[in-house]
Copies of this chain bind each other. A is one copy, B any other.
């Protein structure tokens, strides 16, 4: 069904560069003790301190509007960095408060994480986000309803399509802009002993090949390519250099609409697609 989705201005496909600005939150959640590891904290701090400015410069060079998913904790700890994102004209979206994995929370905890995140983004950046991505890319079956109740336009945490769609939520819906693990930099670059990563670290050349092949193929499918980078990973110098080359490649395709997720979601909403119902698997 979704393959009939029309892009604006006769474009054949869409592309979005998105960034999960996790900083310390991604390792602190569920693991308070890790705060005692100064090197680990510094590894995460590289994101807002060095990676983020470098990425903002790349986006400026290539004139790409991007989406930044910012946990509330990051906003409170690095307010100036988060404000720079807004000042540069990019979209800020919701990514929990302390990067809480929704499926590990009670309903009350999930509500608290959502509302604390909203409050932090309002306080620090004066922003009310319209988009959400589940920390750990691990949406619960409750999350879509909580998003609709709070007026969110879109979610970007599911993996069952190449094209955005309207996800049915009660009588309404939320736009879903799907993602996939192969378009994430975590699997290519992340290594934190005892915390995360396979233990191997890939060359930026390999990561770029992987992402660019998928861009070519999703473009041919008239679909929506959504890349996710973490400033503490892809903000490193050579990775950012490859990312910049990839940006040049992507924007070099005139038939592709390169924009942020908010703009894509707004467009999808104008199409009045029939909402799609997803059923939770029951006991077999």
Please report A residues at the B interface, Cβ cutoff 8 Å. 24-25, 28-29, 32, 35-43, 45-46, 49-50, 73, 77, 97-98, 103, 134, 136-141, 143, 157-162, 178, 180-182, 187-189, 191-193, 197-206, 209-210, 213-214, 216-218, 220-221, 223, 236-238, 240-242, 278, 280-284
Complex Cα distance A161/B35, Å? 19
A24 lies within 8 A of B281 (CB): yes
A205 touching B209, Cβ below 8 Å = yes
A71 CB, nearest partner CB in chain B, Å:
10
Cα A6 to Cα B77 with chains together (Å): 29
Q: Which residue of B lies closest to A198 (CB)?
A: B199
Taking a contact as CB atoms closer than 8 A, the residue among B39, B97, B217, B280 that contacts A237 in the complex is: B217
Q: How distant is the Cα of A233 from the Cα of B2 in the complex, in angstroms?
A: 19
Chain B residues within 8 Å of A192, by CB:
181
The 4 A-B residue pairs whose C-beta atoms are closest, nearest first, are: A198-B199, A217-B237, A42-B160, A217-B238
Contact A161 B98 (CB under 8 A): no
Residues of B within 8 A of A157 (CB): 38-39
Least distance between A201 CB and chain B CB atoms (Å) = 5
A138 partner, pick from B37, B221, B241, B284, beta carbons under 8 A = B37
Q: Which one of B98, B103, B199, B203 lies within 8 Å of A206 (CB-CB)?
A: B203
Q: Closest residue of chain B to A276, judged by CB?
A: B49
A215 to chain B, nearest CB (A): 8
Check A161 against B217 for contact (C-beta < 8 Å): no
Asked whether B141 lies within 8 Å of A36 as measured between CB atoms, the reply is yes
- Residues of chain B within 8 A (CB-CB) of A140 are 36-38
Can you list 11 A-B contacts (CB < 8 A)? Answer: A25-B284, A35-B280, A38-B141, A41-B278, A42-B139, A45-B160, A162-B237, A187-B199, A187-B201, A203-B209, A217-B238
B210 touches A237 (CB 8 A): no
